[in-house]
Structure 1
Amino acid sequence: MVEEGSRVLVVLPHILPNTTLQRIIEQTVPFLRKWQSQLDVVVIPEFKTSFQLDSALGKMYSVIRDVLLRYEMINSGVNVIFNNRHFAKSSLQWKVGLLPQGSTFDTWQLELENGQCHKMEHYALHEDTVERIVGPRDASEFRVTALGGTFDHIHDGHKILLSIAAFITSQRLICGITCDELLQNKKYKELIESYETRCSHVSRFIELLKPNLSVELVPLKDVCGPTGKVPEIECLVVSRETVAGAETVNKTRAERGMDRLVIHVVNVLGGREEDGWSEKLSSTEIRHLLQTSHPMN
Protein backbone atom coordinates (compact mmCIF):
# COMPACT_ATOMS: atom_id res chain seq x y z
CA MET A 1 0.00 0.00 0.00
CA VAL A 2 1.34 3.43 -0.95
CA GLU A 3 1.90 5.81 1.94
CA GLU A 4 -0.06 9.03 1.45
CA GLY A 5 2.90 11.12 2.58
CA SER A 6 5.36 9.43 0.21
CA ARG A 7 4.99 11.39 -3.00
CA VAL A 8 7.29 12.41 -5.84
CA LEU A 9 6.64 15.61 -7.80
CA VAL A 10 7.56 16.34 -11.44
CA VAL A 11 6.92 19.78 -12.95
CA LEU A 12 6.70 20.03 -16.75
CA PRO A 13 7.09 23.32 -18.65
CA HIS A 14 4.89 22.05 -21.51
CA ILE A 15 3.81 18.82 -23.21
CA LEU A 16 7.13 17.16 -23.91
CA PRO A 17 8.12 14.75 -26.69
CA ASN A 18 7.71 11.11 -25.67
CA THR A 19 11.44 10.38 -25.46
CA THR A 20 12.07 13.42 -23.25
CA LEU A 21 9.19 12.61 -20.91
CA GLN A 22 10.37 9.01 -20.72
CA ARG A 23 13.87 10.14 -19.71
CA ILE A 24 12.48 12.40 -16.98
CA ILE A 25 10.17 9.73 -15.56
CA GLU A 26 13.08 7.27 -15.47
CA GLN A 27 14.83 9.69 -13.10
CA THR A 28 11.96 9.26 -10.63
CA VAL A 29 12.06 5.45 -10.60
CA PRO A 30 14.64 5.07 -7.78
CA PHE A 31 12.60 7.37 -5.54
CA LEU A 32 9.28 5.74 -6.40
CA ARG A 33 10.72 2.31 -5.74
CA LYS A 34 12.45 3.31 -2.49
CA TRP A 35 9.36 4.88 -0.92
CA GLN A 36 6.55 3.05 -2.76
CA SER A 37 5.45 6.53 -3.78
CA GLN A 38 2.70 8.28 -5.64
CA LEU A 39 3.87 10.30 -8.65
CA ASP A 40 2.34 13.74 -9.21
CA VAL A 41 3.10 15.24 -12.63
CA VAL A 42 2.15 18.92 -12.93
CA VAL A 43 1.81 20.53 -16.36
CA ILE A 44 2.32 24.31 -16.21
CA PRO A 45 0.58 25.72 -19.35
CA GLU A 46 -3.19 26.07 -19.07
CA PHE A 47 -5.31 23.88 -21.32
CA LYS A 48 -8.15 25.61 -23.19
CA THR A 49 -9.75 22.70 -25.04
CA SER A 50 -10.73 19.21 -23.92
CA PHE A 51 -9.59 17.86 -27.30
CA GLN A 52 -6.05 18.98 -26.55
CA LEU A 53 -6.28 17.78 -22.94
CA ASP A 54 -7.58 14.34 -23.94
CA SER A 55 -4.71 13.90 -26.41
CA ALA A 56 -2.08 15.12 -23.95
CA LEU A 57 -3.31 13.00 -21.04
CA GLY A 58 -3.49 9.88 -23.20
CA LYS A 59 0.10 10.36 -24.28
CA MET A 60 1.48 11.24 -20.85
CA TYR A 61 -0.24 8.48 -18.92
CA SER A 62 0.81 5.94 -21.58
CA VAL A 63 4.48 7.00 -21.55
CA ILE A 64 4.65 7.17 -17.75
CA ARG A 65 2.95 3.81 -17.28
CA ASP A 66 5.19 2.15 -19.87
CA VAL A 67 8.25 3.27 -17.90
CA LEU A 68 6.84 2.01 -14.60
CA LEU A 69 5.75 -1.33 -16.05
CA ARG A 70 9.25 -1.83 -17.44
CA TYR A 71 10.43 -1.74 -13.83
CA GLU A 72 7.50 -3.97 -12.70
CA MET A 73 5.99 -1.14 -10.65
CA ILE A 74 2.32 -1.89 -11.31
CA ASN A 75 1.13 -0.41 -8.01
CA SER A 76 2.66 3.05 -8.39
CA GLY A 77 -0.10 5.65 -8.54
CA VAL A 78 0.19 8.40 -11.17
CA ASN A 79 -1.66 11.73 -11.13
CA VAL A 80 -1.33 14.21 -14.00
CA ILE A 81 -2.33 17.63 -12.66
CA PHE A 82 -3.31 20.52 -14.94
CA ASN A 83 -5.00 23.95 -14.80
CA ASN A 84 -4.44 24.17 -11.03
CA ARG A 85 -2.22 27.16 -10.28
CA HIS A 86 -2.56 26.66 -6.54
CA PHE A 87 -1.38 23.04 -6.53
CA ALA A 88 2.06 23.98 -5.18
CA LYS A 89 0.36 25.65 -2.21
CA SER A 90 -1.68 22.59 -1.31
CA SER A 91 -1.24 20.65 1.94
CA LEU A 92 0.56 17.81 0.14
CA GLN A 93 4.09 16.80 1.08
CA TRP A 94 6.65 15.48 -1.43
CA LYS A 95 9.77 13.45 -0.68
CA VAL A 96 11.45 14.90 -3.76
CA GLY A 97 10.59 17.44 -6.45
CA LEU A 98 11.99 17.28 -9.99
CA LEU A 99 11.96 20.65 -11.79
CA PRO A 100 13.36 21.82 -15.13
CA GLN A 101 16.53 23.86 -15.04
CA GLY A 102 16.08 27.60 -15.59
CA SER A 103 14.99 30.75 -13.83
CA THR A 104 11.42 30.39 -15.17
CA PHE A 105 10.68 28.02 -12.31
CA ASP A 106 12.14 30.08 -9.46
CA THR A 107 8.58 30.71 -8.25
CA TRP A 108 7.93 27.00 -7.93
CA GLN A 109 11.18 26.57 -6.01
CA LEU A 110 10.29 29.38 -3.62
CA GLU A 111 6.82 27.93 -3.02
CA LEU A 112 8.20 24.46 -2.37
CA GLU A 113 11.10 25.44 -0.11
CA ASN A 114 8.93 25.81 2.98
CA GLY A 115 9.36 22.16 3.96
CA GLN A 116 6.60 20.97 1.69
CA CYS A 117 9.20 19.30 -0.54
CA HIS A 118 12.05 17.57 1.33
CA LYS A 119 14.48 17.43 -1.58
CA MET A 120 14.78 19.35 -4.86
CA GLU A 121 16.42 18.05 -8.04
CA HIS A 122 16.52 19.32 -11.63
CA TYR A 123 16.45 17.89 -15.11
CA ALA A 124 17.75 19.37 -18.37
CA LEU A 125 15.71 19.95 -21.51
CA HIS A 126 17.62 19.40 -24.76
CA GLU A 127 14.82 20.42 -27.11
CA ASP A 128 11.84 22.74 -27.02
CA THR A 129 9.21 21.04 -29.14
CA VAL A 130 5.77 22.18 -28.04
CA GLU A 131 2.75 20.15 -29.11
CA ARG A 132 -0.02 22.34 -30.50
CA ILE A 133 -3.50 20.90 -30.95
CA VAL A 134 -6.44 23.10 -31.86
CA GLY A 135 -10.06 22.59 -30.91
CA PRO A 136 -13.09 24.40 -29.50
CA ARG A 137 -12.51 26.13 -26.16
CA ASP A 138 -14.74 24.27 -23.73
CA ALA A 139 -13.14 24.66 -20.30
CA SER A 140 -15.94 24.86 -17.68
CA GLU A 141 -18.54 24.85 -20.48
CA PHE A 142 -21.22 22.98 -18.51
CA ARG A 143 -22.61 23.89 -15.10
CA VAL A 144 -23.64 20.31 -14.25
CA THR A 145 -21.96 17.22 -15.72
CA ALA A 146 -22.33 13.52 -14.99
CA LEU A 147 -20.32 10.36 -15.54
CA GLY A 148 -20.38 6.85 -14.16
CA GLY A 149 -18.31 3.72 -13.71
CA THR A 150 -17.00 1.08 -11.33
CA PHE A 151 -13.70 2.90 -10.63
CA ASP A 152 -12.19 -0.21 -9.09
CA HIS A 153 -8.43 0.09 -8.45
CA ILE A 154 -8.61 3.54 -10.02
CA HIS A 155 -6.29 3.55 -13.02
CA ASP A 156 -5.00 5.88 -15.71
CA GLY A 157 -8.05 5.40 -17.94
CA HIS A 158 -10.36 6.33 -15.06
CA LYS A 159 -8.24 9.36 -14.33
CA ILE A 160 -8.42 10.62 -17.92
CA LEU A 161 -12.22 10.25 -17.84
CA LEU A 162 -12.46 12.12 -14.52
CA SER A 163 -9.99 14.76 -15.73
CA ILE A 164 -12.03 15.59 -18.82
CA ALA A 165 -15.26 15.66 -16.80
CA ALA A 166 -13.75 18.07 -14.27
CA PHE A 167 -12.25 20.21 -17.06
CA ILE A 168 -15.57 20.87 -18.82
CA THR A 169 -17.56 21.40 -15.60
CA SER A 170 -17.90 24.75 -13.84
CA GLN A 171 -20.04 23.99 -10.78
CA ARG A 172 -21.30 20.47 -10.09
CA LEU A 173 -19.96 17.06 -11.07
CA ILE A 174 -22.18 14.05 -10.40
CA CYS A 175 -20.34 10.74 -10.44
CA GLY A 176 -22.24 7.46 -10.34
CA ILE A 177 -20.19 4.63 -8.85
CA THR A 178 -21.39 1.07 -9.37
CA CYS A 179 -22.68 -0.43 -6.12
CA ASP A 180 -21.18 -3.63 -4.72
CA GLU A 181 -24.32 -5.69 -5.44
CA LEU A 182 -23.87 -5.31 -9.21
CA LEU A 183 -20.27 -6.55 -9.20
CA GLN A 184 -20.82 -10.11 -8.00
CA ASN A 185 -20.25 -11.63 -11.44
CA LYS A 186 -17.03 -9.73 -12.20
CA LYS A 187 -13.80 -11.66 -12.70
CA TYR A 188 -11.58 -11.83 -9.60
CA LYS A 189 -14.43 -10.30 -7.59
CA GLU A 190 -12.64 -11.08 -4.31
CA LEU A 191 -10.13 -8.36 -5.22
CA ILE A 192 -12.70 -5.68 -6.04
CA GLU A 193 -12.41 -2.68 -3.71
CA SER A 194 -15.38 -1.74 -1.56
CA TYR A 195 -17.82 0.96 -2.66
CA GLU A 196 -16.49 3.26 0.07
CA THR A 197 -12.88 2.78 -1.03
CA ARG A 198 -13.72 3.44 -4.67
CA CYS A 199 -15.61 6.60 -3.72
CA SER A 200 -12.68 7.81 -1.66
CA HIS A 201 -10.21 7.36 -4.51
CA VAL A 202 -12.45 9.23 -6.97
CA SER A 203 -13.05 12.07 -4.53
CA ARG A 204 -9.37 12.49 -3.68
CA PHE A 205 -8.33 12.54 -7.33
CA ILE A 206 -10.86 15.21 -8.32
CA GLU A 207 -9.74 17.25 -5.29
CA LEU A 208 -6.22 17.29 -6.75
CA LEU A 209 -7.52 18.60 -10.08
CA LYS A 210 -10.23 21.08 -9.18
CA PRO A 211 -10.64 21.58 -5.42
CA ASN A 212 -13.47 24.12 -5.76
CA LEU A 213 -15.69 21.83 -7.83
CA SER A 214 -18.78 20.47 -6.07
CA VAL A 215 -18.63 16.67 -6.39
CA GLU A 216 -21.54 14.31 -5.68
CA LEU A 217 -20.81 10.58 -5.49
CA VAL A 218 -23.91 8.40 -5.79
CA PRO A 219 -24.40 4.60 -5.99
CA LEU A 220 -25.04 3.42 -9.54
CA LYS A 221 -27.69 0.69 -9.58
CA ASP A 222 -28.86 0.80 -13.21
CA VAL A 223 -27.76 2.04 -16.64
CA CYS A 224 -29.06 5.59 -16.19
CA GLY A 225 -28.37 6.31 -12.54
CA PRO A 226 -28.73 10.03 -11.74
CA THR A 227 -28.85 10.98 -15.44
CA GLY A 228 -32.35 9.50 -15.62
CA LYS A 229 -33.58 11.53 -12.66
CA VAL A 230 -31.72 14.85 -12.41
CA PRO A 231 -33.01 17.38 -14.99
CA GLU A 232 -30.22 19.91 -14.31
CA ILE A 233 -27.54 17.65 -15.80
CA GLU A 234 -26.37 19.10 -19.11
CA CYS A 235 -23.60 16.76 -20.23
CA LEU A 236 -22.67 13.10 -19.88
CA VAL A 237 -19.00 12.10 -20.19
CA VAL A 238 -18.36 8.59 -21.51
CA SER A 239 -15.44 6.61 -22.91
CA ARG A 240 -15.56 5.70 -26.57
CA GLU A 241 -16.59 2.07 -26.02
CA THR A 242 -19.67 3.01 -23.91
CA VAL A 243 -21.36 5.45 -26.30
CA ALA A 244 -24.30 3.06 -26.80
CA GLY A 245 -25.17 3.37 -23.11
CA ALA A 246 -25.25 7.15 -23.46
CA GLU A 247 -27.89 6.84 -26.18
CA THR A 248 -29.99 4.72 -23.80
CA VAL A 249 -29.72 7.51 -21.23
CA ASN A 250 -30.95 10.14 -23.70
CA LYS A 251 -33.83 7.93 -24.78
CA THR A 252 -34.88 7.52 -21.14
CA ARG A 253 -34.63 11.26 -20.49
CA ALA A 254 -36.76 12.01 -23.54
CA GLU A 255 -39.41 9.55 -22.33
CA ARG A 256 -39.46 11.34 -18.96
CA GLY A 257 -39.76 14.81 -20.47
CA MET A 258 -36.19 15.92 -19.74
CA ASP A 259 -33.74 17.58 -22.12
CA ARG A 260 -31.28 15.36 -23.97
CA LEU A 261 -27.71 15.45 -22.71
CA VAL A 262 -24.67 16.53 -24.64
CA ILE A 263 -22.55 13.38 -24.97
CA HIS A 264 -18.83 14.09 -24.52
CA VAL A 265 -16.72 11.15 -25.67
CA VAL A 266 -13.26 10.49 -24.22
CA ASN A 267 -10.70 8.29 -25.95
CA VAL A 268 -9.98 4.81 -24.60
CA LEU A 269 -6.49 4.32 -23.16
CA GLY A 270 -5.09 1.29 -25.00
CA GLY A 271 -6.73 -1.07 -27.45
CA ARG A 272 -8.56 -0.53 -30.74
CA GLU A 273 -12.24 -0.28 -31.64
CA GLU A 274 -11.81 -2.96 -34.36
CA ASP A 275 -11.01 -5.67 -31.79
CA GLY A 276 -13.52 -4.54 -29.19
CA TRP A 277 -10.94 -2.63 -27.13
CA SER A 278 -9.53 -6.00 -26.04
CA GLU A 279 -6.21 -4.47 -24.97
CA LYS A 280 -7.59 -1.45 -23.15
CA LEU A 281 -6.43 -0.73 -19.63
CA SER A 282 -9.02 -2.23 -17.27
CA SER A 283 -9.68 -2.90 -13.62
CA THR A 284 -10.12 -6.59 -14.49
CA GLU A 285 -6.58 -6.76 -15.83
CA ILE A 286 -5.24 -4.98 -12.74
CA ARG A 287 -7.02 -7.49 -10.48
CA HIS A 288 -5.56 -10.32 -12.57
CA LEU A 289 -2.05 -8.87 -12.18
CA LEU A 290 -2.57 -8.48 -8.45
CA GLN A 291 -3.76 -12.06 -8.10
CA THR A 292 -0.79 -13.30 -10.11
CA SER A 293 1.76 -11.33 -8.12
CA HIS A 294 0.11 -11.95 -4.73
CA PRO A 295 -1.86 -15.23 -4.87
CA MET A 296 -4.62 -15.47 -2.28
CA ASN A 297 -4.77 -18.45 0.04
Structure 2
Amino acid sequence: MFKKVVVGGTFNRIHKGHDDLLKTTFNIGEYVYIGLTSDKFANLFRAEKVLEYKKRKENIEKKISALNLQNNYEILKIDDMYGIATLKEDLNAIVVSEETLPRAQEINAIRFKKGLKRLIMVVVPLALKNNKPVSASMM
Protein backbone atom coordinates (compact mmCIF):
# COMPACT_ATOMS: atom_id res chain seq x y z
CA MET A 1 0.00 0.00 0.00
CA PHE A 2 1.19 3.50 -0.82
CA LYS A 3 0.72 6.56 1.35
CA LYS A 4 -0.29 9.01 -1.44
CA VAL A 5 -1.54 8.01 -4.87
CA VAL A 6 -2.71 10.08 -7.82
CA VAL A 7 -5.04 9.32 -10.73
CA GLY A 8 -6.39 11.75 -13.27
CA GLY A 9 -8.68 12.20 -16.22
CA THR A 10 -11.76 13.78 -17.67
CA PHE A 11 -14.18 11.20 -16.24
CA ASN A 12 -16.77 12.45 -18.72
CA ARG A 13 -19.26 9.61 -18.52
CA ILE A 14 -18.24 7.11 -15.88
CA HIS A 15 -17.92 3.56 -17.21
CA LYS A 16 -16.31 0.25 -16.20
CA GLY A 17 -12.83 1.49 -17.10
CA HIS A 18 -13.24 4.38 -14.65
CA ASP A 19 -14.57 1.97 -12.02
CA ASP A 20 -11.44 -0.17 -12.44
CA LEU A 21 -9.15 2.88 -12.19
CA LEU A 22 -10.88 4.17 -9.07
CA LYS A 23 -10.99 0.76 -7.35
CA THR A 24 -7.31 0.15 -8.02
CA THR A 25 -6.33 3.63 -6.85
CA PHE A 26 -8.30 3.36 -3.63
CA ASN A 27 -7.08 -0.22 -3.02
CA ILE A 28 -3.42 0.76 -3.14
CA GLY A 29 -3.49 4.26 -1.62
CA GLU A 30 -4.06 5.50 1.89
CA TYR A 31 -4.77 8.97 0.50
CA VAL A 32 -6.01 9.51 -3.05
CA TYR A 33 -5.70 12.58 -5.25
CA ILE A 34 -8.03 12.61 -8.24
CA GLY A 35 -7.05 15.13 -10.89
CA LEU A 36 -10.18 16.13 -12.80
CA THR A 37 -9.75 18.17 -15.96
CA SER A 38 -11.25 21.66 -16.04
CA ASP A 39 -13.98 22.38 -18.58
CA LYS A 40 -11.60 24.45 -20.68
CA PHE A 41 -8.88 21.80 -20.79
CA ALA A 42 -11.31 18.90 -21.26
CA ASN A 43 -12.82 20.50 -24.34
CA LEU A 44 -9.47 21.14 -26.06
CA PHE A 45 -9.00 17.55 -27.24
CA ARG A 46 -12.43 15.98 -27.32
CA ALA A 47 -14.85 15.68 -30.19
CA GLU A 48 -17.76 14.59 -27.99
CA LYS A 49 -19.60 16.89 -25.60
CA VAL A 50 -18.00 16.99 -22.17
CA LEU A 51 -20.20 17.33 -19.11
CA GLU A 52 -19.53 20.38 -16.93
CA TYR A 53 -16.80 20.05 -14.28
CA LYS A 54 -19.31 20.32 -11.43
CA LYS A 55 -21.38 17.42 -12.81
CA ARG A 56 -18.32 15.25 -13.50
CA LYS A 57 -17.05 15.87 -9.96
CA GLU A 58 -20.45 15.01 -8.53
CA ASN A 59 -20.54 11.79 -10.60
CA ILE A 60 -17.11 10.74 -9.30
CA GLU A 61 -18.21 11.37 -5.72
CA LYS A 62 -21.35 9.28 -6.27
CA LYS A 63 -19.30 6.49 -7.85
CA ILE A 64 -16.81 6.47 -4.96
CA SER A 65 -19.72 6.14 -2.56
CA ALA A 66 -21.45 3.44 -4.67
CA LEU A 67 -18.23 1.42 -4.83
CA ASN A 68 -17.89 1.80 -1.05
CA LEU A 69 -14.36 3.19 -1.31
CA GLN A 70 -13.38 4.36 2.15
CA ASN A 71 -10.05 6.19 1.82
CA ASN A 72 -9.54 9.87 2.31
CA TYR A 73 -9.47 11.59 -1.05
CA GLU A 74 -9.40 14.95 -2.73
CA ILE A 75 -10.63 15.91 -6.18
CA LEU A 76 -8.49 18.64 -7.71
CA LYS A 77 -9.18 20.67 -10.84
CA ILE A 78 -6.36 20.34 -13.37
CA ASP A 79 -5.68 22.57 -16.37
CA ASP A 80 -2.97 20.53 -18.06
CA MET A 81 -1.97 16.92 -18.75
CA TYR A 82 0.01 16.54 -15.56
CA GLY A 83 -1.90 18.22 -12.74
CA ILE A 84 -0.20 17.80 -9.38
CA ALA A 85 1.73 14.71 -10.51
CA THR A 86 4.77 16.78 -11.54
CA LEU A 87 4.50 19.20 -8.62
CA LYS A 88 3.67 17.36 -5.42
CA GLU A 89 6.82 16.03 -3.80
CA ASP A 90 5.29 13.44 -1.48
CA LEU A 91 3.36 11.35 -4.03
CA ASN A 92 4.28 7.66 -4.18
CA ALA A 93 2.36 6.16 -7.09
CA ILE A 94 0.25 6.98 -10.13
CA VAL A 95 -2.55 4.80 -11.49
CA VAL A 96 -3.02 4.79 -15.25
CA SER A 97 -4.63 2.72 -17.97
CA GLU A 98 -2.61 0.98 -20.67
CA GLU A 99 -3.70 3.85 -22.90
CA THR A 100 -2.32 6.56 -20.61
CA LEU A 101 0.90 4.81 -19.57
CA PRO A 102 2.99 7.06 -21.87
CA ARG A 103 1.71 10.09 -19.93
CA ALA A 104 2.89 8.56 -16.65
CA GLN A 105 6.30 8.00 -18.23
CA GLU A 106 6.39 11.69 -19.23
CA ILE A 107 5.41 12.64 -15.69
CA ASN A 108 8.28 10.60 -14.26
CA ALA A 109 10.74 12.17 -16.70
CA ILE A 110 9.60 15.64 -15.59
CA ARG A 111 9.80 14.65 -11.91
CA PHE A 112 13.33 13.31 -12.44
CA LYS A 113 14.43 16.59 -14.07
CA LYS A 114 12.99 18.49 -11.09
CA GLY A 115 14.81 16.28 -8.61
CA LEU A 116 11.61 14.61 -7.39
CA LYS A 117 11.39 10.88 -6.85
CA ARG A 118 9.76 8.91 -9.64
CA LEU A 119 6.27 7.55 -9.08
CA ILE A 120 5.53 3.85 -9.09
CA MET A 121 3.32 3.33 -12.15
CA VAL A 122 0.37 1.02 -11.56
CA VAL A 123 -1.22 0.05 -14.87
CA VAL A 124 -4.87 -1.00 -15.01
CA PRO A 125 -5.79 -3.08 -18.08
CA LEU A 126 -8.30 -1.49 -20.43
CA ALA A 127 -11.90 -2.52 -19.85
CA LEU A 128 -13.24 -4.24 -22.96
CA LYS A 129 -16.69 -4.63 -24.46
CA ASN A 130 -17.00 -6.77 -27.59
CA ASN A 131 -13.18 -6.88 -27.68
CA LYS A 132 -12.97 -3.08 -27.94
CA PRO A 133 -11.83 -0.65 -25.24
CA VAL A 134 -14.73 0.90 -23.34
CA SER A 135 -14.81 4.70 -23.62
CA ALA A 136 -17.21 7.51 -22.81
CA SER A 137 -17.57 8.26 -26.51
CA MET A 138 -19.20 4.82 -26.94
CA MET A 139 -21.95 5.69 -24.47
TM-score (structure 2 length as normaliser): 0.91
Counterpart of 1:210? 69
Aligned to 1:285: 138
Please state if 1:178 is matched with 2:31: no
**Greater CA radius of gyration, 1 or 2?**
1
Aligned to 1:251: 109
- Please state how far the C-alpha of 1:207 moved relative to its aligned partner: 2.9
1:158 Cα deviation from its structure 2 partner = 0.5
Residue 164 (structure 1) shift: 0.5
What amino acid sits opposite 2:16 in the alignment?
Answer: D
In the TM superposition, what is the alpha-carbon distance from 1:223 to its structure 2 partner? Answer: 1.8
Structure 1 position 262, deviation (Å): 0.2
| Number of the residue aligned with 1:240 | 98
Residue matched to 1:101:
none
Residue pair 1:144, 1:173 contacting (<8 A) in 2 also: yes
Deviations 1:117-149 (CA, angstroms, capped at 9, x unpaired): xxxxxxxxxxxxxxxxxxxxxxxx101000001
Q: Is residue 162 of structure 1 aligned with residue 15 of structure 2?
A: no
1:201 equivalent to 2:55? Answer no
8 Å CA contact 1:223, 1:249 repeated in 2: no
Report what 2:2 is aligned to. 142
What is the letter of the counterpart of residue 134 of structure 2? Answer: L
Task: Give the drift of 1:153.
Answer: 1.3
Q: Secondary structure at the match of 2:128?
A: coil
Q: Which runs of 5+ in 1 are unaligned?
A: 1-140, 272-276, 287-297
Q: RMSD over aligned Cα, in angstroms?
A: 1.8
Query: Share of identical aligned residues, percent?
Result: 26
Tell whether the 8 Å contact from 1:182 to 1:221 is kept in structure 2 after alignment.
yes
Tell me which of the two structures has the higher relative contact order, counting C-alpha pairs closer than 8 angstroms and 6 or more residues apart.
Answer: 2
Give the superposition deviation at 1:218.
0.8
Distance 1:164 1:248 in 2: 21
Structure 2: state its 5+ residue gaps: none
- 1:183 to partner: Cα distance: 2.8
